[in-house]
Amino acid sequence: MIEGGGYAKEMRPFFSFIPRPLRLGVFLSAVAVILYVTLAPNQDVPGSEMFWDKAAHSIAFGLLVVIGLLMSTHRRWVVAAAVLALGIAIEIAQGLMPYGRQGDWRDALADAIGVGVGVIVWAIARRFKPR
């Protein structure tokens, strides 16, 4: 709610000049890349043996939430919760898959840290958006 008892206005996306279907396509493309990298068999993913796996999770989900927030008209917490839920669902799927993947709660934690950092980066970027 806004001052005076009215309802909050719909949030304008950062890239509001881009048509909504294209913004949605950009976000879904980013989701598709993350799904491929996280669910493809280990031998098919370049760099899957990286020693900095947790940092890669944080960076990927931080970027995904920033893209989602920049493209979305939904409330910040809805986008962040959806991206975090995606990360948790991926870890569950990895635990159930026979492709050399393993679900790991530490990866889900790294995803959550990335989402948190991404929301902070987005909030800072919003402060510098011209009005």
pLDDT (tens digit per residue) in 28-40: 999 999 999 888 8
Say whether pLDDT at 4 is over 60: no
Radius of gyration of the chain (CA): 17
Residue 3: inside a domain, yes or no?
Answer: no
Global confidence as pTM: 0.80
Residue from 41, 52, 72 nearest 114 by CA: 52
Is residue 106 included in any domain, yes or no?
A: yes
- Across all residues in the chain, what is the average pLDDT? 83
The H or E element that residue 112 is part of is helix 105-127
Residue 1, both tokens? 């709610």
What's the average model confidence in pLDDT over 4-27?
71
Give me the number of domains the chain comprises: 1
In a domain, 5, yes or no: no
Q: What is the mean pLDDT of residues 70-90?
A: 91
Range(s) of the domain holding residue 76: 20-127
1 occurs within a structural domain: no
Q: Does a structural domain hold residue 11?
A: no
